[in-house]
Amino acid sequence: MKNASLIKTLLVLSCLYSSTYAQKNKAIYSVIINNKEEITKSPYYSYYKIAQENSNQFTFHLIFSKDSSDFFINDNLEIEYHSFRMVKAFSRYQGFVRKTKSKTFIEKEIDNKTYILEEKTEYNWTLTTENKKIGNYSCYKAITNKKTKNNNSIPIIAWYSPEIAYQFGPNGYGNLPGLIVELQIDNVIYGLKSINFDDKTIKFKEIDFKKIISLDKYDEIIKEKMKFVLDE
């Protein structure tokens, strides 16, 4: 009888576990664009100020399940187009990002053509014991760096919560022991505003994987585009 009772309990727990991870969830993030000394001296500083002044009107959505996530900007906002472009440009937003545990797909548009870049999901996170409370969640600090094309290093700080047992976060970052509640990419901070678990209305975006190209190929397209513009 004891064995039967134990098996029954394990089956119930297994069903609950499967149900939790099969569900689709949605997190909404805000963005803060902080000052950066080198930008204040840049000829583009006026555009940067527009982004700073309007960033509080923007939200970003993270749809996630156990195995994957979609991250994208909320473009259903009544915001002047120029301001919209400036916030996208200076918030370090990559574009629509589909992330799995092993790969990252980033959607890019050039001349109304959509391309999908495929990247390997590799993070060399350093987990620390530093912690803080963000909203209702106990969060822990993880740090890493991202190399740019110019071989510069951008500091990344993530505050993740093991209380939300999903390995995703804003802008394609993740692979931590919990959802990223706050993400700082250099001078830009994404912060969790709200989260909705098991939302039956959520649908993942359908991706045309025939449009996948390598980063090198994408760079070639950009160079050709710039050459065409300069030759005009």
Distance of CA 78 to the CA centre of its chain: 23
pLDDT digits (tens, 9 = 90+) for 207-225: 877 778 877 788 787 777 6
How far apart (Å, rounded) are the C-alpha atoms in residues 50 and 46? 7
Task: Determine, yes or no, domain membership for 95.
Answer: yes
Handedness of CA 150, 147, 117, 81 (dihedral sign): negative
Question: How many residues are there in the chain?
Answer: 232
Task: Determine, yes or no, domain membership for 105.
Answer: yes
For residue 35, pLDDT over 70 is answered with yes
Q: Which of 39-43, 45-49, 124-128 has the highest mean pLDDT?
A: 124-128
pLDDT digits (tens, 9 = 90+) for 55-66: 888 899 999 999
- This prediction has a pTM of 0.81
For residue 9, pLDDT over 50 is answered with no
Q: How many domains does the chain have?
A: 1
Task: Determine, yes or no, domain membership for 16.
Answer: no
Domain that holds residue 138: 25-231
Task: Determine, yes or no, domain membership for 222.
Answer: yes
Q: What SS3 string covers 192-217?
A: EEEEECCCCCCCCCCCCHHHEECHHH
Task: Determine, yes or no, domain membership for 160.
Answer: yes
For residue 26, pLDDT over 90 is answered with yes
